[in-house]
């Protein structure tokens, strides 16, 4: 019975955490529920980087009821001083009796020390309740905090025959309104959107989040080896969110100065002729971009896959067949493999429907069973 109750309250805590997904910066999304005598006395979520953590919000709500209560937390309480005081100390001070934790914190500054601190002060600790769901919620944080590289999600929208545009270049619209609305939710939940210069020149996208309830606009990042991005492109002139252009040492200095004068950050990623994607990921990590949503064309998607830099794929499929052969661009354009046994496999797949559209989500496994670099 205790396990059933633990899962029930932990699921509530996960729902609280998920509600704030995308607005905590590089910090994880965390939820906390405090229960005493079968009654919820406090709830909270981490809402913004640098502000109170979930445990603090929940303890403030619980007040004196926290003494002798059980706290359900989706991620191990921190034990170090960062922008906020350690949550483990607050739980101890409020005389919480038991702490149930979903996932341990991969942050080297925590990494089990929060749980050890709680146990050392006599609190009962249970860990691993709905751990898989908690880790899925914070998959980007879990990678970034260890590698200092962004978690890369490639999103595509294609016809059933794998085309992202007709042979004329027309691509509006492949998927339906419901699918496109969900893409804006994905934008809200990522710290940056990556696209290629080909997409910018063809579509002049804004790459902003447009939801019925206003969402957060992520940083816009463009892979542009020769700085061909026009000064009047929406990404340059609209000011809706910061824009970063990843280029090479060969980029024209005059265009670089012009873009920087307009507020665009230009970052060199290798000598050229193409942008070094490994260097690009390192540079974005230095900017504390922990989650990256790729909305590019087939060449950028293919280059990232070939470099084994993709952590997750979100593939929207519309019930359409458009043909066009080589004249109609596909969603993944790279040299490919000689044998079917070398193909990139998707694992941990899930399927959602948005009206008549399907959305397949999976995690690529590269040759040798390896995940993304």
Q: Is 192 left (phi over 0), alpha (psi -120 to 50) or beta?
A: beta
Tell which residue, 76, 1, 73, has the closest CA to residue 35: 73
Degrees to nearest 5, angle at CA 351 with 203 and 320: 50
Which one of 2, 55, 253, 347 is the catalytic residue?
55
Per-residue DSSP letters for 197-251?
Answer: HHHHHHH--------SS--PPPEEEEE-TT----TTSHHHHS-SS-EEEEE-TTS
Per-residue b/e over 310-348, b at no fewer than 16 CB within 10 Å? Answer: bbbbbbbbbeeebeeeeebbbbbbeeeeeeeeeebeeee
Q: Residue 151 is encoded by which pair of tokens?
A: 């978690």
Burial of 216 (0-12, 13-18, 19+ CB in 10 A): middle
Q: Are 173 and 355 in contact (CB under 8 A)?
A: no
Query: Cα separation of 32 and 38, whole Å?
Result: 16
Q: Are 312 and 346 in contact (CB under 8 A)?
A: no
β-strands 124-127, 31-36 pairing: unpaired
Q: Are 269 and 244 in contact (CB under 8 A)?
A: no
DSSP state of 370: B
Query: Cα separation of 165 and 173, whole Å?
Result: 9
Taking 3-state DSSP, the helix, strand and coil percentages for the chain, each rounded to the nearest 5, stand at 35, 25, 45
55 an active-site residue? yes
Phi, psi dihedrals of residue 266, rounded to the nearest 5°: -110, 125
Catalytic residues: 55
């Amino acid at each position: 019975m205790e396990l059933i109750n633990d899962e029930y309250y932990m699921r509530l805590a996960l729902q609280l955490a998920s509600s704030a997904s995308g607005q905590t910066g590089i910090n994880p999304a965390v939820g906390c529920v405090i229960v005493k005598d079968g009654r919820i006395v406090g709830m909270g979520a981490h809402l913004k980087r640098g502000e109170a953590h979930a445990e603090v919000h929940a303890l403030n709500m619980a007040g004196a009821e926290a003494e002798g209560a059980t706290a359900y937390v989706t991620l191990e309480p921190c034990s170090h001083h960062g922008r906020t005081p350690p949550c483990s100390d607050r739980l101890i001070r409020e005389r919480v009796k038991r702490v149930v934790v979903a996932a341990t914190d991969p942050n080297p500054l925590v990494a089990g020390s929060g749980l050890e601190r709680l146990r050392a002060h006599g609190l009962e600790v249970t860990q691993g309740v709905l751990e898989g769901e908690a880790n899925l919620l914070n998959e980007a944080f879990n990678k970034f905090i260890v590698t200092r590289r962004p978690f890369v999600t490639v999103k595509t929208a294609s016809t059933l025959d794998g085309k992202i545009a007709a042979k004329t270049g027309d691509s509006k619209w492949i998927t339906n309104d419901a699918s496109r609305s969900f893409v804006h939710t994905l934008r809200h939940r990522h710290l940056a959107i990556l696209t290629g210069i080909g997409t910018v020149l063809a579509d002049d996208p804004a790459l902003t989040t447009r939801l019925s309830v206003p969402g957060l606009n992520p940083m816009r990042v463009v892979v542009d080896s020769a700085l061909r991005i026009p000064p009047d492109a929406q990404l340059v002139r609209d000011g809706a969110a910061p824009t970063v252009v990843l280029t090479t040492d060969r980029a024209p200095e005059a265009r670089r100065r012009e873009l920087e004068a307009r507020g665009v950050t230009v970052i060199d990623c290798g000598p050229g002729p193409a942008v070094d994607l490994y260097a690009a990921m390192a540079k974005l990590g230095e900017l504390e971009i922990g989650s990256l949503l790729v909305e590019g064309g087939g060449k950028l998607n293919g280059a990232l896959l070939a470099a084994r830099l993709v952590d997750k794929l979100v593939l929207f499929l519309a019930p359409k067949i458009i043909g066009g052969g080589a004249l109609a661009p596909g969603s993944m354009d790279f040299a490919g493999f000689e044998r079917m046994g070398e193909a990139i496999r998707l694992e941990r797949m899930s399927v959602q429907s948005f009206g008549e559209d399907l959305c397949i989500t999976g995690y690529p496994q590269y040759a040798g069973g390896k995940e993304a670099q």
